[in-house]
Amino acid sequence: MKVYDEKHIKNVVLLGAVKSGKTTLAETMLFEAGIINRRGTVEDKNTVSDFHDVEHERENSVYATSLHTEWRNYKINIIDTPGLDDFIGEIASSIRVADTAVLLLNAHQGVEVGTELIWNYVDKFKKPTIFAVNQVDHPKSDFDAVIESAKERFGAPVTIMQYPVNQGDEFNCIIDLLKMKMYKFGPDGGKPEKLPIPDDQKEKAEQLHNELVEKAAENDETLMELYFEKGTLSEDEMRKGLKIGMMEHSVFPVFCFSAKLNMGSGRMMGFIDNVAPAAMEMPPELTEEGAEVQCDPNQPVSLFVFKTLVEPYLGKLTFFKVNSGFLKTGQDLINAQTGGHERINQIFIMDGKNRNTVESLAAGDIGATVKLKDTKTNHTLHAAEFPVAYQKIEFPEPRVRVSIEAEENDLKKLAEISKELGAEDPTLSIQFNKELKQLILSAQGDLHLDVTKWRLKNIYDVGVNFGNPKIPYRETIQKRATAGYRHKKQSGGSGQFGEITITIMPYIDGMANPEGFTIRKKEEILLSWGGKLVFYNCIVGGAIDARFVPSVQKGILESMEEGPITKSYVRDVAVLLHDGKMHPVDSNDISFKIAGAQAFKIAFMKADPKLLEPINSLSIVVPEDLMGEVMTDLQTRRATILGMDTEGKNQKINAKIPLAEMNGYNTALKSITQGKAAFTTAFEEYTQVPYDLQEKLIKLNSTEVE
CATH number of the structural domain spanning residue 697: 3.30.70.240
**Is the pLDDT reported for residue 158 higher than 60?**
yes
Helix (H) or strand (E) holding 53: helix 53-58
DSSP bridge pairs for 525: 533
Residue 352 CA to residue 516 CA, distance in Å, equals: 75
Q: What is the DSSP string of 188-199?
A: T-SSPEEEPPPH
Same domain for 173 and 84: yes
CATH number of the structural domain spanning residue 409: 3.30.70.870
**Is the pLDDT reported for residue 248 higher than 60?**
yes
Range with top average pLDDT, 119-128, 451-460, 526-535:
526-535
Q: What residues have CB less than 8 Å from 615, skipping those under 6 apart?
A: 656, 657, 658, 659, 683, 684, 685, 686, 687
pLDDT-derived band at 577 (thresholds 50, 70, 90) equals very high
Q: What residues have CB less than 8 Å from 430, skipping those under 6 apart?
A: 404, 414, 417, 418, 421, 422, 439, 440, 441, 442
Among the residue ranges 314-318, 386-390, 530-534, the one predicted with the least confidence is: 314-318
Same domain for 495 and 632: no
Boundary-marking domain end, from 445, 467, 489: 467
Residues 410-463 have pLDDT tens digits of: 888 888 888 888 888 999 998 889 889 899 999 998 899 999 998 888 888 888
- Per-residue burial over 164-179, b if 16 or more Cβ lie within 10 Å, else e, is bbebeeebbbbbbbbb
Q: What number is the average pLDDT over the span 229-234?
A: 91
Same domain for 436 and 355: no
Does residue 240 form part of some domain? no
Same domain for 309 and 352: yes
Does residue 151 form part of some domain? yes
Same domain for 624 and 578: no
Residue 313: φ, ψ to 5°? 75, -15
Residues 248/254/259/263 CA torsion (nearest 10 deg): -130
**Is the pLDDT reported for residue 661 higher than 70?**
yes
The total domain count for the chain is 5
Q: What number is the average pLDDT over the span 148-154?
A: 91
Residue 270 CA to residue 7 CA, distance in Å, equals: 16
Max intra-chain CA distance, the chain: 112
Same domain for 294 and 276: no
pLDDT at 704: 59
Same domain for 630 and 695: yes
Residue 302 CA to residue 427 CA, distance in Å, equals: 25
- Domain carrying residue 560: 475-607
Helix (H) or strand (E) holding 209: helix 199-217
Q: Tell me the percentage of the chain whose pLDDT exceeds 70.
A: 98
Helix (H) or strand (E) holding 223: helix 221-230
Does residue 221 form part of some domain? no
The β-bridge relationship of strands 158-160 and 252-256 is parallel
Q: What is the DSSP string of 509-529?
A: TTPPPPSSS--SEEEEEE-TT
Does residue 217 form part of some domain? no
pLDDT-derived band at 492 (thresholds 50, 70, 90) equals low
Residues 619/624/626/629 CA torsion (nearest 10 deg): 60
- Please, what is the Cα angle at 332 between 331 and 334, to 5 degrees? 135
Does residue 653 form part of some domain? yes
Question: What's the number of CA atoms in the CB half-sphere (13 Å) around residue 187?
Answer: 0
Boundary-marking domain end, from 449, 467, 485: 467
Residue 112 CA to residue 623 CA, distance in Å, equals: 9
Residue 650 CA to residue 343 CA, distance in Å, equals: 49
Residue 165 CA to residue 188 CA, distance in Å, equals: 18
Same domain for 378 and 317: yes
Sign of CA dihedral 78, 84, 90, 93: positive
Same domain for 88 and 10: yes
**Is the pLDDT reported for residue 197 higher than 60?**
yes
Same domain for 430 and 350: no
Query: What burial class does residue 554 get, using C-beta atoms within 10 Å of its C-beta: 0-12 exposed, 13-18 middle, 19+ buried?
Result: middle
Q: What number is the average pLDDT over the span 223-248?
A: 93
pLDDT-derived band at 56 (thresholds 50, 70, 90) equals confident
Residue 601: φ, ψ to 5°? -60, -40
pLDDT at 313: 66
CATH number of the structural domain spanning residue 377: 2.40.30.10
Boundary-marking domain end, from 280, 301, 330: 280
DSSP bridge pairs for 431: 440
CA-to-CA dists, residue 613 to 81, 401, 508, 531, 657, angstroms: 38, 16, 18, 14, 10
Does residue 621 form part of some domain? yes
Quick check: 360 and 327 in contact, CB under 8 A?
yes
Does residue 35 form part of some domain? yes
Does residue 589 form part of some domain? yes
**Is the pLDDT reported for residue 705 higher than 60?**
no
Q: What number is the average pLDDT over the span 513-534?
A: 94
Say how many C-beta atoms besides its own lie within 10 A of residue 535's C-beta: 22
CA-to-CA dists, residue 430 to 541, 626, 634, angstroms: 53, 34, 28
The β-bridge relationship of strands 347-351 and 354-358 is antiparallel
Same domain for 259 and 358: no
**Is the pLDDT reported for residue 706 higher than 50?**
no
Q: What residues have CB less than 8 Å from 609, skipping those under 6 apart?
A: 475, 476, 477, 478, 563, 564, 565
Residues 325-359 have pLDDT tens digits of: 999 999 999 999 999 999 999 999 999 988 999 99
Q: What is the DSSP letter of 567?
A: S
pLDDT at 98: 97
Residues 538-554 have pLDDT tens digits of: 998 889 999 999 999 99
Q: What is the DSSP string of 401-412?
A: EEEEEE-HHHHH
Residues 465-490 have pLDDT tens digits of: 999 999 999 999 999 999 999 999 87
Q: Tell me the percentage of the chain whose pLDDT exceeds 90.
A: 71
Same domain for 357 and 255: no
Q: What residues have CB less than 8 Å from 41, skipping those under 6 apart?
A: 24, 27, 47
Q: What number is the average pLDDT over the span 310-316?
A: 75
When the pLDDT of each residue in the chain is averaged and rounded to a whole number, the result is 92
DSSP bridge pairs for 318: 308, 369
